[in-house]
């Protein structure tokens, strides 16, 4: 099964859209530091176990630089999930939908 890659510019069109779940696959500490608004944090090591409830959704994955999300997208697509992976990860994103929880204690 195949998956699609998307550019950082394209990811905004999937945020807050019905039928899509944007997933940050980095660890929670990295997620709190900086992430896309509307994304959920599911670390790579927990991904397969936790996305089984999202089988009807298209999963849009990103990581720090793009390599881990490509690997995860390939693995999930092979198991029948509809998956997209953002090229370049959060480091390549230059849009308006960034947020941080680092100030929250």
Cα angle 13-19-24, degrees, rounded to a multiple of 5: 65
Q: Which of 68, 65, 61, 88 is nearest to 4 (CA)?
A: 61
For Cα atoms 12, 18, 22, give the angle at the middle one, nearest 5 degrees: 45
For 52-101, how does the pLDDT look when each residue is reduced to its tens digit (9 = 90+)?
Answer: 999 999 999 999 999 999 999 999 999 999 999 999 999 999 999 999 98
What confidence score (pLDDT) does residue 99 get?
94
Interatomic CA distance for residues 59 and 45, integer angstroms: 16
**pLDDT over 50 (residue 26):** yes
Q: Mean of the per-residue pLDDT values for the chain?
A: 95
For the chain, which domains are there?
4-93 (3.40.250.10)
The stretch 16-21 carries a mean pLDDT of 97
pLDDT of 105 over the 60 cut: no
């Amino acid at each position: 099964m195949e998956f699609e890659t998307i550019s950082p510019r394209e990811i905004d069109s999937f945020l807050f859209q019905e039928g899509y779940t944007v997933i940050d696959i980095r660890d929670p500490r990295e997620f709190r530091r900086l992430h896309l608004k509307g994304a959920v944090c599911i670390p790579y090591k927990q991904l397969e176990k936790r996305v089984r409830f999202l089988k009807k959704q298209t999963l849009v994955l990103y990581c720090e630089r793009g390599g881990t999300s490509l690997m995860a997208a390939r693995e999930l697509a092979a198991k029948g999930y509809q998956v997209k992976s953002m090229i370049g990860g959060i480091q390549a994103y230059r849009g308006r939908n960034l947020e941080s929880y680092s100030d929250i204690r």
